[in-house]
Every structure is written in structure tokens, then in C-alpha cells.
Amino acid sequence: MRRVVITGIGAVSPIGLTAQESWDNCINGVSGVGPITLFDTSGFLVKIACEVKGFNPTESMNSAEARRRDRCQQLAATAAAEALQHSGLQISEENEYRVGVIISSAIGGICTLENTVRVIDKSGARRASPFTIPMMMPNGPSGLVAIDIGAKGPALSVSSACASSSDGIGLAWQYIKNGASDVMLAGGAEATICSVAVASFDRLGAMSRRNDDYSMTPQPFDKNRDGLVMGEGSAVLVLESLDSAQAREANILAEMVSYGVTGDAFHITAPHEDGVGGALAMRQAIDTAKLDITSIDYINAHGTATQLNDAAETRAIQTVFGEHARELAVSSTKSMTGHMMGATGSLEALFCIQAIRSQLAPPTIHYHTPDPECNLDYVPNKTREIPIKVAMSNSFGFGGHNSVLVFKKYMHD
């Protein structure tokens, strides 16, 4: 069983076009919320989202490639290119079969699907693009990134709703740990800010409608929280065996030490009110890493700003950590990035790695009114400098999918 380290990171998010810009804005409490510009919201009850602003795909691919790729695929390719460059890894004939890719997505190219339906309705079936299926496929980001970089190891995607990219990172960790691969690019990509997705999530009662006062939303763990704000983006990590990283004298950012995964078997959209599945996944991750509960210094919570989720996650943390729960720094960076659906776990994993590197716990912004049901330390509104050796990232998805990742400060033997 090999040790697994992180040697590269890349991101395109609502608060930054690179990993570093995203992190800088995260610790500065910058909100990514704004009016939707990607489609006409006339007649919609939700008119706000966390869009990736200023993104130009032709800065990382040629215009022909960009036209043949859905926005989520463009975002994935850009984040993956940054992560690979950051890692300093060179892929050649000598190692190409030992490098794999897992870029996960909950929904895939839904905006391409929506646009194609409109084209067919207006102009007929013969006007559908031959690139529609490749642009729609949830595994499209993984396949295209593997082609872009020449990685011939495992190439796949995981679809477990909002836990997708965390599960993909967990699977990549297992591949390397068990010796199936030496390097894995793992993360997520999502671009769902289109009329079908926004209207449908709103009909679930899951979304904030504070269109005129969006500077105050989303509000994870706040008593007055009124739902999530949809986000988009991509984040990719380069996971590598310690032996491989040391052999090429790579810069090691952190060590990944555990992955916990469970299913609620309870409800297709709602978490169990006591958070039992999430609690079990956290406990599993802690036990797998052979850690004590007091070893965890920071939790990047799933924290969607929905009434049910935030209360259930709080109970789950209390169940697992007991008295230590009150000593933990627990924050929801979705207060800044919005909910990036299947990609959100990968960005939050990246934030955990950066928290360990910088010894900074990012804030939960928009937090003003405590909720008796959510009574932990949510690092309200301002980044806090604290010792962070071990950080946990929680991702809980529709369908009852619970995924927990644990990262640790890298220490030499």
C-alpha cells in the first residue's frame, strides 16, 4: 500500500480563473454571486448564479477544439492543463500507461442537450450537430483530457451527484495506493447554468431567489438560509505515488491519507435528518487513515445553505466528533463559489490542500444569524489563521451519496 501525495492543482471557478486566484479570493471572502448572463432569465424565479467570469477557452485550446466541446469540457481541459503544468510532470512513452484521468461530472453537457433540442425544434433533425453526443457525455471531460495530455492509464468518470468529483478523487487515490497507476489527474467539471437546470433545481425548492439582494446569499448554516446558488467550474488535482514524486523531485503540496464512502439508502434528494450516512463516511475516513478524531483540525463542509442539508451535516459532525466538534473550524466555501454540483468536491479538496499549506481556514461568508440547529464554529465571515495539519472535505449528493476525503501535511519519513 503506497503513500499518495498531491503534486499539482488547477482550477477555473466563479472566484478565479486559476487555482491561486481562486484560493486568494476564497481567503479574502470574495463572493462569486451575480446576475445570470449565460441565458435569458425572463420569466424565471431564479436570476442569480455563480458563473465563471471572463473565461476564454481559446487561451488553452484552439478555436476549433473549443467549438467542439461543451463548456464543462472546456473548463475541465483548462483546469487539467494548469494542474499538469503545476506538477511539472512530463508524460512520455515511458510512463503514459501509468498515468490516468478521472474527471467526474454529475450532469455532463446539459446545456449542449438543451441547445440541440432547440435546434431540432426550430430547424429539424438534420440540423443537429454531429458533435452533440461527445459534447453531452458525462465522461467527455475525462476522455478529452486524456487525449490532450496523452495519458493512457485508467480514464473514466464517476457520477454520484454532488459527490461525483470527491468520489473520483477517492477512486484515483485507491488506484495509486494499490499500484494500478503511478499518477492520476482527478477532479470534476460542471457547467449547468442553463434554463433546464436552473428551472428544475428551483422546482425542487433548493435554490435561493434573492435576486435583488444577492450580496447576502448563499448563507450556509445561517438561520435565514434560503437555498443554494448554482455554480459552475472545474478543479483538478495531480495525485501521485510518493515514490514517483520523490524520484522526479516533485514539489509535494500535501498527502492524501483517506477516503470514506457510504450510501444513505433513504431518499433520492433529502439527506437523513440525523446525517447518519455522512457520519459513517467521516468515521470510515478517520479509521482508514488511522487517525484520532482530535487529529482533524479543519472541515470543509458540504454546507449547501439548504435547511435540511446544513442541519443534517451539523448533526453528523457532532455524532462523529463529540466534544471535539466545538473545537473544529468548519466552513462552507460554497458561500463564495456557489454549488458547483459534481465539480464542487474537487474545488473544496483543493481548498483543503491550500488551507494546510497556508495554515488558513477560509470563512463562511454571509453568516449573521446563528441557528440553534447549527451550532458549530463556522469561521464566520473572516479567514482565520490556525494550525492545520489534517483537513477533511465532505461531499454529500442527491441519491444519498456520501464522500469524505482527508488530506494531511506532508511529512518526510
Of residues 162, 194, 352, 374, which has the active-site annotation? 162
412 a catalytic residue: no
Q: How far apart are CA 177 and CA 373, in angstroms?
A: 39
Helix, coil or strand: residue 360: strand
CA distances (Å), origin 317, targets 279, 299, 324: 6, 9, 9
Residue 256, C-beta contacts closer than 8 angstroms, at least 6 positions apart: 4, 5, 6, 169, 173, 239, 405, 406, 407, 408
Of residues 26, 72, 86, 302, which has the active-site annotation? 302
Which residues partner with 255 through β-bridges? 5, 408
Three cell numbers, residue 288 = 482508514
Nearest to 384 by CA among 365, 398, 411: 365
Q: How far apart are CA 172 and CA 187, in angstroms?
A: 9
Contact 138, 198 (CB under 8 A): no
DSSP states of 93-153: TTTGGGEEEEEE-SS-SHHHHHHHHHHHHHH-GGGS-TTHHHHH-TTHHHHHHHHHHT--S
Contact 70, 136 (CB under 8 A): yes
Contact 17, 57 (CB under 8 A): no
Three cell numbers, residue 117 = 433540442
Q: How far apart are CA 378 and CA 13, in angstroms?
A: 22
302 a catalytic residue: yes
61 torsion bin: left (phi>0), alpha (psi -120 to 50), beta (else) = beta
Of residues 86, 272, 339, 366, which has the active-site annotation? 339
194 a catalytic residue: no
The residue to which cell 455524532 is assigned:
319
Q: What is the maximum alpha-carbon separation in the chain?
A: 65
Q: Tell me the catalytic residues.
A: 162, 302, 339
